[in-house]
């Protein structure tokens, strides 16, 4: 890998130190690395492995999220939902409400994330399962109301999450089940 450009295309994983901080290495199998320095080959950080979903790749790659389709109304992070995955919730027709409940400390990995996409015409409401859980969201907006709207729950401390993304207030006239 003697080239000195910012984007490196090669067969397989990086074998030499990055040429610049922020350089990208793209392998022939679709894996991608980003450099966080230029000292050693260890400065390459695997950020994407498209082979992970088929069992042949690195599920610890930064930014890797398995896609899971969900067709049930009430789900719980840590039980039906596992952290560090991307959940596509099919809410069906308008007016349907799906609830994503976050329970207290279920041995979540540090800094884990749960990504949620509403792929229906209903909405997804994110709520706490107990008073021991705190979900911080801008302006008290905890609902993904738009079709293809995406939000992320980020664990920022023990039983403390930040919810961000395409969020709205719970639709008027809708009641939590």
Residues 37 and 74 in one domain: no
The two beta strands, 134-137 and 113-118, are: unpaired
pTM: 0.58
What is the largest distance, in Å, between two alpha-carbon atoms of the chain? 63
Residues 37 and 124 in one domain: no
Number of domains in the chain: 2
Average pLDDT across the chain, whole number? 74
5-9, 46-50, 53-57, 162-166: least confident range: 53-57
Sequence-separated (6 or more) residues with CB below 8 Å from residue 25: 1, 8, 10, 13, 14, 18, 32, 33, 34, 35, 44
32 located within any domain: yes
Give the pLDDT score at 95.
80
86 located within any domain: yes
Select from 10, 37, 34 the least CA-distant residue to 21: 37
Are 68 and 60 in contact by the 8 Å Cβ rule? The answer is no
Select from 69, 67, 65, 17 the least CA-distant residue to 45: 17
CATH value at residue 157: 2.60.120
- Per-residue pLDDT tens over the stretch 58-117: 555 555 555 666 665 566 555 555 666 777 788 888 888 888 888 886 677 777 888 888
30 conformational bin, left if phi > 0, alpha if psi -120 to 50, beta if neither: left
Whether residue 152 is predicted with pLDDT greater than 50 in this model: the reply is: yes
Whether residue 55 is predicted with pLDDT greater than 50 in this model: the reply is: no
Whether residue 48 is predicted with pLDDT greater than 50 in this model: the reply is: yes
Whether residue 21 is predicted with pLDDT greater than 50 in this model: the reply is: yes
Give the pLDDT score at 12.
82
Residues 103 and 158 in one domain: yes
Residues 89 and 155 in one domain: yes
Are 159 and 153 in contact by the 8 Å Cβ rule? The answer is no
27 located within any domain: yes
Give the pLDDT score at 96.
83
Q: Which has more pLDDT, 46 or 120? A: 120
Are 65 and 49 in contact by the 8 Å Cβ rule? The answer is no
Whether residue 160 is predicted with pLDDT greater than 70 in this model: the reply is: yes
Give the pLDDT score at 176.
42
Domain span holding position 28: 7-53
Residues 73 and 45 in one domain: no
Are 141 and 164 in contact by the 8 Å Cβ rule? The answer is no
Whether residue 5 is predicted with pLDDT greater than 60 in this model: the reply is: no
């Amino acid at each position: 890998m003697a080239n000195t450009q910012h984007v490196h295309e090669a067969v397989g994983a990086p074998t030499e130190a990055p040429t610049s901080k922020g350089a990208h290495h793209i392998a022939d199998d679709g894996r991608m690395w980003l450099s966080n320095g230029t000292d050693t080959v260890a400065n390459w950080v695997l950020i994407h492995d498209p082979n992970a979903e088929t069992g042949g790749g690195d599920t610890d790659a930064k930014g890797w999220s398995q896609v899971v389709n969900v067709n049930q109304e009430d789900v719980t992070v840590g039980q039906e939902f596992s952290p560090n995955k991307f959940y596509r919730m099919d809410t069906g027709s308008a007016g349907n409400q799906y609830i994503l409940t976050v329970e207290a400390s279920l041995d979540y990995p540090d800094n884990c994330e749960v990504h949620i996409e509403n792929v229906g015409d209903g909405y997804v409401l994110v709520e706490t399962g107990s008073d021991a859980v705190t979900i911080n969201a801008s302006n008290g907006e905890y609902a993904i109301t738009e079709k293809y709207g995406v939000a992320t729950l980020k664990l920022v401390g023990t039983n403390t999450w930040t919810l961000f993304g395409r969020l709205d207030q719970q639709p008027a006239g809708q009641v939590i089940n």
